[in-house]
């Protein structure tokens, strides 16, 4: 069995499920953010790489979690990519620590 990170391509449904959003939102963000360019197979189905998913994760964080507008997220990603990446990494690290602490707490109960 392969690990999620071992997969080369993900379908639009898999990406939508991963972020708990509709596939239409994935298609919309694909149009709005030029960094997301999925490959298309012979049947025209979108196939997203791990890099595309990382971009979606950043966009999801800015728009859904921080409440930014799409234009605000676009400007931030375009004008301050390093700062945005660093803040995103810090937030992810803190979320991972929180999840581990919650797991420890539940094991103690």
* CATH assignment at residue 29: 1.10.1660.10
Looking at the predicted structure, is the pLDDT value of residue 4 above 60?
Answer: no
Task: Answer whether 0.75 is exceeded by the pTM.
Answer: no
Domain extent, residue 44, equals 4-108
Q: Is 78:72 a contact under the CB 8 Å cutoff?
A: no
Number of structural domains found in the chain: 1
Q: Is 84 or 4 the better-scoring residue by pLDDT?
A: 84
pLDDT of residue 48: 95
**Pairwise CA distance, residues 78 & 107, whole Å:** 43
pLDDT of residue 95: 82
Q: CB-based contacts of 14: which residues, under 8 Å, 6+ apart?
A: 48
Q: Is 70:32 a contact under the CB 8 Å cutoff?
A: yes
pLDDT digits (tens, 9 = 90+) for 51-106: 999 999 999 999 998 899 999 998 888 887 777 777 777 877 888 888 888 988 88
Model confidence band, residue 20 (pLDDT cutoffs 50, 70, 90)? very high
Backbone angles phi, psi at 88, to 5 degrees: -60, -45
pLDDT of residue 1: 34
pLDDT of residue 2: 39
pLDDT of residue 94: 81
């Amino acid at each position: 069995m392969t690990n999620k990170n071992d997969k080369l391509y993900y379908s639009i449904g898999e990406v939508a499920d991963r972020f708990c959003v509709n596939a239409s939102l994935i298609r919309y963000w694909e149009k709005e953010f030029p960094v997301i360019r999925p490959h298309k197979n012979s049947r025209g189905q979108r196939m997203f790489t791990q890099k595309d998913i990382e971009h979606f994760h950043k966009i999801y964080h800015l728009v859904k979690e921080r409440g930014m507008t799409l234009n605000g997220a676009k400007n931030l990603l375009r004008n301050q990519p390093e700062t945005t990446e660093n803040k995103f990494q810090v937030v992810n690290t803190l979320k991972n620590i929180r999840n581990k602490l919650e797991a420890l707490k539940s094991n103690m109960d």
